[in-house]
Amino acid sequence: MVTGQVIGLDLSCSWLHGSIPSNSSLFLLPYLETLNLGSNDFNSSLISSGFGRLISLTHLNLSNSYFSGQIPSEISQLSKMLSLDLSKNDEVRIESPVWKGLIENLTKLKELVLSEVDMSTIVLDYSLTNLSSSLSYLHLTGCNLIGPIPASLANLPQLTSLSLSYNHFSGHIPSFLSHLKQLYYLNLEQNNLVGGIPDSFVNLTQLSFLDLSWNQLTGRLPSCLKGLRNLVTLRLSGNSLNGTIPSWLFTVLPYLEVIHLRDNRFTGSIPSTIFELVNLTSIRLSSNNLSGHIELCMFARLKNLQYLYLSQNRLSVNTKLDANSTFPKLLKLGLSACNISEFPDFLRSQDRLEWLQLSENKIYGRIPNWFWDIGKDTLYNLNLSDNFLTDVEQVPLKNLRFLDLRSNLLQGSVMVLPPRLIFFSISNNKLTGEIPCSFCTAAPIEFIDLSNNSLSGPIPECLVDSITLIWLDLHLNSFNGSIPQISANGSGLVNLILNDNQFEGPLPQSLANCSRLQVLNVANNRIDDTFPHWLAQLPELLVLILRSNKFYGLIGNTDARVIFPKLRILDLSRNEFTGVLPTRYFQNLKAMMRGSNTSTVQVQYMHRFGRYYSAFFTLKGIDVEMNILSIFLVIDFSSNRFEGQIPEVVGKLNLLKMLNFSHNHLTGRIPSSLRNLTVLESLDLSSNRLVGQIPTQLTSLNFLSKLNLSHNQLEGPIPQGPQFNTFQSDSYIGNLGLCGFPLSDKCSNIDDAQEPAPRDTWSWFDWKVAMMGYASGLVIGFSIGYMAFATGRPRWLVRMVERKRIRRQSTRIFLS
């Protein structure tokens, strides 16, 4: 007002888009002190070096504005800067020279926010020493930082807010953090921190927010928490903390509003002192080992309560409330696995409810009509899975986005979906009939799981024509006809699971347009086609299962430059393929080769929906279920009519876990190059016409737990070694020329191998791959598990589970 110069400019949230060129008139404001361009869309453009010309700047905010590239060095020369916020630009990175200049030149800095900026090349340990001692606000969330929490933080005594969450920090929580006595906000969530909560935290008396969740912390809740009397938010979820929840926790922290202890190992009962904290707004105690009887009316005393999660414990919850007990502000309620036998009547009055989980209870019969009045305009997430519900005709909730009805006793036809639904699972029920065209009306649908019902008829073309559909699972039904062509609208499919139906005809070549496709499973159908070589160029394909169909002819070799670049599971078994094994394909399966750029690909199967894959193995007629990690690599060409020799190039697939060429017409010798499959755990070459001796080099396969060479024309002594000595005679039967342990035929002129001590082992197995349902509720964030059975050395980390068709179990999305 005195000089007529612009000293402050706020254009945040202004729908700006495009880029800011270096000759922009913005940079002709030399007296500008405060500039806020946050929450716009600059279309992944670079941060202009022109900002360095604004030499009077004290406050600069470019957060959440879709910038990209390196932070220009000119910004590190703005020596008057007090507050710098470049956060939430996940395509922006800062290199060491710019970081060094920033901390050396911005000596007056009080606030530094670089959250979600890539700092992976930065070593923090000593560099923080140069930051201004007056720095009060430091947020480096999600910056790809590694190593221990830097000790130089102790040189920032004025810090009031510190966030290092969503990084890769390791080691113990350092006690020197207790020197930062001005801290009121401390967030170390989602790192790799171990040990306990330091006793020295008792000195952080100003702390009002503490988040140590999703680390690897252990031990009991320490008494040092008694000193944090100003604490409002305490988040310790996702660790391995144990013992009972102490009753003093809710008596010495009078201002506590948020208590999150979910996904730990707490035992005992919920302390009654929790009901004395009338300011509580959020209680998350799910997924522990808490036990006892709970009267929900006690929680109704907390009139400010908005979020209540008691799921997945060993609690028995009485949901009956008296007339004076209400939850006037309740938004989210989780009562999964709480031994509830009927729909809680108090829900009638919950017109603000947004999220409701009643899965894994004992609720029988029809869904009452009044139930659909709950949060009629607000409810967006509803999980009623794993109960005994028998009928649902419609879901008149116009704002519902997630609906899970899997594993019930629902009958009749598929319902019409709510108009805004994103996720729909009704698998493992007793639905019949065809999918009506009206089913396709839910415009934004991304996930559909109708598996394990008795549905029939063709797939409506409109179903695969959805522009938003990502996951479609129709396995274990009686669908028939041809698989419809995928239009350009439906090319966004990531997972297409159609196994165990009655589909006929060829595979639609339009699948080649699904550039995001990760999983394709059409096993156990009647598909009549040649090998779909046109799938080889799909850049993201991880799993291809063609098992048990009528595929025929030569696989042949291809001249394509890119061949299945990320493929990890390839199952062509139980078809009618002929000719030699496809050497060219084996040469190009880069994801199965150690040292290739694609061998360390991180698989993220629909993390929004928390799905993961498992495998089914047949052992002596018993199907055994195992989960598989992204590193579980498999080739199964068994039960076809392949001929010729096993190519030496197979030995280059050195990340393979399972290799099965059994039940073909293969000839020649077992290639010694298989010794290079150093992590191989299962090898089946049985029922072929292989000749010669078993290569002694195979004894170096120290992970080999299952071996089947039976019914060939092998001869000579069976090699002896740590793993080979564990295999029983059924691994070699049908080879009349073999001799030595474990066969009864001794070898002449050869020193008999000393018999090792008896060992419990299992015979060879076939494999089937499947996908399995998600954990309780809609877990946001995807996990993939691997289990294998405990035989051989070193042991597979496994859990053996006899496969039974039990209705009340997690959804299985079969991949074979």
Model pLDDT for residues 321-351, shown as the tens digit of each residue: 887 788 999 999 999 999 999 999 999 888 8
Q: How far is CA 569 from CA 500, 550, 680, 785, in A?
A: 18, 20, 14, 15
Q: Is residue 285 in some structural domain?
A: no
Q: Locate 386 and state its tokens.
A: 């794993």
Which domain CATH number covers 677?
3.80.10.10
Which of these ranges, 42-46, 89-93, 323-327, has the smallest mean pLDDT? 323-327
Q: How far is CA 232 from CA 67, 96, 177, 331, 793, in A?
A: 35, 37, 19, 20, 51
Q: Is residue 266 in some structural domain?
A: no
Q: In 3-state terms, what secondary structure has residue 170?
A: strand
So what's the pLDDT on residue 443?
A: 66
Task: Answer whether 67's CB lies under 8 Å from 43's CB.
Answer: no
For residues 577 and 593, what is the distance between their CA atoms, to the nearest angstrom? Answer: 25
Confidence at 372, pLDDT banded by 50, 70, 90: confident
Q: In 3-state terms, what secondary structure has residue 725?
A: helix
Q: Is residue 662 in some structural domain?
A: yes
Whether the predicted pLDDT of 154 surpasses 70: yes
So what's the pLDDT on residue 749?
A: 66
Which of these ranges, 349-353, 551-555, 642-646, has the smallest mean pLDDT? 349-353
What is the gyration radius of the CA atoms in the chain, in angstroms?
Answer: 31
So what's the pLDDT on residue 722?
A: 87
Which of these ranges, 82-96, 369-383, 693-707, 780-794, has the smallest mean pLDDT? 780-794
Higher pLDDT, 123 or 799: 123
For residues 766 and 621, what is the distance between their CA atoms, to the nearest angstrom? Answer: 10
Place of tokens 């000839």: 667
Higher pLDDT, 77 or 760: 77
So what's the pLDDT on residue 794?
A: 34
Q: In 3-state terms, what secondary structure has residue 544?
A: strand
Whether the predicted pLDDT of 766 surpasses 70: no
Which of these ranges, 168-177, 312-321, 371-380, 422-431, has the smallest mean pLDDT? 371-380
Instruction: Please report, rounded to a whole number, the percentage of residues in the chain having pLDDT higher than 90.
Output: 73
Residue 538: domain span? 530-597+605-749
Region 710-738: what's the mean pLDDT? 94
Amino acid at 107: T
Q: Is residue 13 in some structural domain?
A: no
Q: Is residue 368 in some structural domain?
A: no
Closest CA to 73 of 101, 53, 45: 101
Task: Answer whether 276's CB lies under 8 Å from 301's CB.
Answer: no
DSSP-derived secondary structure letter, 369: G
Q: Locate 586 and state its tokens.
A: 């084996």
So what's the pLDDT on residue 595?
A: 67
Region 417-436: what's the mean pLDDT? 92
Q: Are strands 332-334 and 423-425 parallel, antiparallel or unpaired?
A: unpaired
Task: Answer whether 224's CB lies under 8 Å from 200's CB.
Answer: yes
Region 795-810: what's the mean pLDDT? 34
Strands, sheet with 265-268, edge to edge from the N-terminal-most edge strand:
146-148, 168-172, 192-195, 216-219, 240-244, 265-268, 289-295, 314-318
Closest CA to 57 of 80, 84, 24: 80
Looking at the structure of the chain, the number of domains it has is 1
Q: Is residue 364 in some structural domain?
A: no
Give the bridge partners for 211, in sequence order: 187, 235
Long-range contacts made by residues 229-233, C-beta under 8 angstroms, separation at least 24?
229/205, 229/253, 229/254, 229/255, 230/184, 230/205, 230/206, 230/255, 231/207, 231/255, 231/256, 232/208, 232/256, 232/257, 232/258, 233/208, 233/209, 233/257, 233/258
Helix (H) or strand (E) holding 241, with range, is strand 240-244
Confidence at 808, pLDDT banded by 50, 70, 90: very low
Instruction: Give 470-496 pLDDT, tens digit per residue.
Output: 999 999 999 999 999 988 776 889 999
Q: In 3-state terms, what secondary structure has residue 448?
A: strand
Q: Is residue 559 in some structural domain?
A: yes
Task: Answer whether 270's CB lies under 8 Å from 293's CB.
Answer: no
| pTM, entire model | 0.84
Region 643-670: what's the mean pLDDT? 96
> Can you give the length of the chain in residues?
816
